[in-house]
């Protein structure tokens, strides 16, 4: 397979669900330090609900149809800030994927760009505000510069998101609950940036 098809998209979503379940308490600990301590539980509830619905999708569902199912499920089950933000990301990604049967590198970059743009439009955060945008933005930039091999695009996006998430540690937050803490948010990694890195690393790890 040269592009990413609907079956790959399902395997990616299943990989996210497994990683979120495994790292739920880690994500929640990050959110306990600078938020309200629910990020891991929120995402785990959402992706477990997605797993329950994937089976009902037609076997040959295109990537866009899988992404749309994820979006609507996250919007209705996750809540908080992250639910609508990730829901918007997957919905805009689904719209960018359209009814293509496979995503090549160029289409994948369009999907990732639409997801990031959706989060920015919804949450109004800029890079440096200590949010998930700090992982998404470098990921999209790296993906766009990665060339025409889908695996290369996925690896570039995952690595840049991980670096972006790590780089949130010294920052003071300007959006979300962590912004109420002022200087006290510095020294802690943003949970949403970390979950974004998880999501994109899961994509790079899915064959
Ligand atoms: P809540 O803050 O409502 O408890 P979560 O704990 O699930 O929601 O998610 C918190 C994460 O959401 C933060 O770590 C941050 O990455 C992200 N976030 C919060 N507000 C915004 C925003 N305006 N734009 C982008 N991301 C945001
Ligand atoms: Mg929270």
pLDDT digits (tens, 9 = 90+) for 55-90: 999 999 999 999 999 999 999 999 889 999 999 999
Do 103 and 111 form a contact (C-beta atoms < 8 A)?
A: yes
CATH architecture designation of domain 4-206: Alpha Horseshoe (1.25)
Judge contact between 85 and 120, C-beta under 8 A. Answer: no
SS3 call for 65: helix
| 13-33 pLDDT, tens digit each | 999 999 999 999 999 999 999
Q: In angstroms, rounded to a whole number, what is the distance separating the alpha carbons of residues 130 and 127? A: 7
Q: To test the ligand 1 pocket, which listed residue (192, 195, 197) has its Cβ within 8 A of the most ligand atoms?
A: 192
Mean pLDDT score, 37-48 = 97
| pLDDT digits 0-9 by tens, 97-122 | 999 999 999 999 999 999 999 999 99
| 38 Cβ closer than 6 Å to some ligand 1 atom | yes
Distance 168 CA to ligand 1 centre (A): 13
pLDDT for 72: 97
Which of 51, 53, 54, 32 has its CA nearest to residue 41? 32
Q: Is the dihedral of CA 96, 12, 48, 29 positive or negative?
A: negative
pTM above 0.95, yes or no: yes
177: tokens are 């609950």
Judged against a pLDDT cut of 90, whether residue 2 lies above it is answered with no
């Amino acid at each position: 397979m040269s592009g990413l098809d609907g079956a790959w998209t399902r395997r990616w979503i299943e990989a996210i669900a497994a990683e979120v379940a495994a790292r739920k308490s880690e994500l929640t600990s990050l959110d306990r330090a600078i938020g309200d301590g629910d990020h891991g539980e929120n995402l785990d509830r959402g992706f477990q609900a997605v797993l329950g619905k994937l089976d009902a999708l037609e076997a040959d569902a295109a990537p866009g149809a899988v992404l749309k199912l994820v979006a609507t499920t996250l919007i209705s089950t996750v809540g908080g800030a992250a639910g609508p933000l990730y829901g918007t990301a997957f919905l805009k990604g689904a719209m960018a994927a359209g009814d293509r049967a496979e995503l090549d590198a160029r289409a994948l970059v369009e999907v990732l760009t639409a997801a990031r743009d959706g989060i920015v439009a919804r949450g109004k955060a800029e890079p440096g505000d200590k949010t998930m945008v700090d992982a998404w933005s470098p990921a999209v930039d790296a993906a766009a510069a990665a060339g025409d091999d889908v695996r290369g695009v996925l690896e570039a996006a995952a690595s840049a998101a991980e670096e972006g998430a790590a780089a949130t540690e010294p920052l003071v937050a300007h959006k979300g609950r962590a912004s109420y803490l002022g200087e006290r948010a510095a020294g802690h990694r943003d949970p949403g940036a970390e979950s974004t890195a998880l999501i994109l690393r899961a994509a790079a790890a899915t064959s």
